[in-house]
Amino acid sequence: MNYYNLHTHCTTDDHTVGIITIHNCLIGRDRPDGFLAYPFFSAGIHPWYIENVDKQLQQLETLLESHAQLLLIGEAGLDKLKGAELSLQQTVFERQIALSEAFEKPLLIHCVKAWDELLALHKSIKPRMPWIIHGFRGSAQLAEQLLQHGFRLSFGTRFHPEALRMAWPEHCFAETDDASVSVLTVYRQMAAALSLDEATLKAEIATNFRQLFTL
């Protein structure tokens, strides 16, 4: 049974047998050609890197049309502390939500201090595709609120154990994001926080991953 890294910007586990990794391409910052050799990747317009919106959206749509190994749209989302004006962030995010629905790809979300706006969008749009908060570090209370609205949570090297317990078992994933560590490290941290043996955690995350992507 494999380990699964839902989201990374690093190459730490690239040559490790038994680890399935989704590398993230940030449209406007990364060169997409560099990701096409990966078995799986994600791509999206991050709120920090909104530049030429029409060009970026066209580039993302072309990738979606041409590469079946693009499994997730994102990082996409809202950030009140950094990036473009919030109104522009929301416009770009809504365009990516539309692509998520049209291409039937789950949405990987970056959200900082904009939870009310995110929840309002989810309530008004009622998306069919799953929305996953990447690198979730919020409280158990925030986790509960998001889970009640159908969100899923992906956990990295830093998280609140209570929030992880809220998402366990069927709504959680593991990732390394920009940390230069193996995803096995994250699995061990999660297993310890949940007082589980690693094999149980590994089996559940594998099930969640396969259900998310119908693999």
Question: Tell me, what's the pLDDT at 214?
Answer: 73
Residue-wise pLDDT tens digits, 50-80: 999 999 999 999 999 999 999 999 999 999 9
pLDDT over threshold 80, residue 212: yes
Q: How far from 41 is each of 97, 102, 118, CA to CA, in Å? A: 18, 18, 24
SS3 179: coil
Specify the pTM.
Answer: 0.96
Q: How far from 5 is each of 2, 10, 19, CA to CA, in Å? A: 10, 11, 7
Average pLDDT, integer, range 15-22: 96
Can you state the percent helix, strand and coil of the chain, rounding each to 5?
A: 45, 20, 35
pLDDT over threshold 80, residue 33: yes
Average pLDDT in the chain = 97
Q: Could you count the other beta carbons within 10 Å of the beta carbon of residue 34?
A: 11
Q: Could you count the other beta carbons within 10 Å of the beta carbon of residue 141?
A: 12
Q: Residues 130, 145, 213, CA angle at the centre, nearest 5°?
A: 15
Q: Cis link prior to 75 (omega < 30° from 0)?
A: yes
Q: How confident is the model at residue 215 (pLDDT cuts 50, 70, 90)?
A: low
Q: Which domain holds residue 11?
A: 3-213
Tokens found for residue 38: 């990966």
CA 171 to chain centroid: 12
SS3 72: strand
Tokens found for residue 22: 């989704």
Q: How confident is the model at residue 126 (pLDDT cuts 50, 70, 90)?
A: very high
CATH code, domain with 204 = 3.20.20.140
DSSP 142-187: HHHHHHHTT-EEEE-SS--HHHHHHHTTTTEEE--BT--S-HHHHH
CA atoms of 64 and 79, how far apart (whole Å): 24
Report the number of distinct structural domains present in the chain.
1
Residue-wise pLDDT tens digits, 182-194: 999 999 999 999 9
The residue ranking higher by pLDDT, 214 or 126, is 126
Q: Residues 10, 27, 5, CA angle at the centre, nearest 5°?
A: 30
CA atoms of 133 and 147, how far apart (whole Å): 10
